[in-house]
Amino acid sequence: MKLNPFVKAGIGLSFALLWSCPTLAALTESKNYGLDVKITAQSEDDTDLGTASGGDVNGVGLDLRPWIYGESGAWSGYAMGQAVTSTDIIETDTLQQSDSDGTLATENGDRKSKKNYLAMREFWVGYSGLTPYPGEILKLGRQRLRNDDGQWRDTNIEALNWTFDTTLLRANAGVAERFSEYRTDLTELAPKDKDRLHAYADAAYQWNPGNWVGIRGHHTHDDGKLDYAQPGVAADSLDKKENGDISWIGLTADSDAYNWRNTNTVNYWGSITGMSGDRDRVNPLNADGTAPAQAKNSGDVDGWATDLGVRLRLDPQWQVGAAYARASADYEQNGLQSNRSNYTGTRSRVHRYGEAFRGEMNNMQSATLFGSWMLNDEYDASVIYHKFWRVDGNKPVGSNGINAVQNDTDDVTGAVLSSTSLPLEDGNKDLGQEMDVVVTKYFKQGLLPAALSQSIDEPSALVRLRGGVFKPGDAYGKGVDSYMHRAFIDVIWRF
**pLDDT (tens digit per residue) in 325-373:** 999 999 999 999 999 999 999 999 999 999 999 999 999 999 999 999 9
In angstroms, what CA-CA distances link 66 with 123, 182, 193, 199, 495? 12, 15, 27, 30, 9
Closest CA to 330 of 304, 308, 352, 353: 304
Query: Across-strand partners of 221?
Result: 197, 245
Residue stretches of the chain with pLDDT short of 70? 1-31, 54-55, 97-108, 406-420, 445-460
pLDDT of residue 110: 77
- Residue 403 has a pLDDT of 83
Which pLDDT belongs to residue 452? 62
Q: How far apart are CA 58 and CA 41, in angstroms?
A: 8
- pLDDT (0 to 100) of residue 415: 54
- Confidence (pLDDT) at 56: 85
- CA 263 vs. chain centroid, Å, equals 28
Sorted by where each begins, the domain ranges of the chain are 5-494
Task: Phi first, then psi: give them for residue 24, nearest 5 degrees.
Answer: -105, 20
| Burial class of 376 by CB neighbour count within 10 A (0 to 12, 13 to 18, 19+) | exposed
Q: Which residues pair with 169 in a beta bridge?
A: 205
3-state secondary structure of 69: strand
pLDDT of 24: 41
Q: Which amino acid is at 471?
A: K
Cα 381 from Cα 344, distance rounded (Å): 9
Report domain 5-494's class: mainly beta
Predicted pLDDT at 387 = 98
Q: What is the pLDDT of residues 263-287, one digit of tens each?
A: 999 999 999 999 999 999 999 888 8
Q: Is the dihedral of CA 287, 293, 298, 299 positive or negative?
A: negative
Amino acid at residue number 192? K
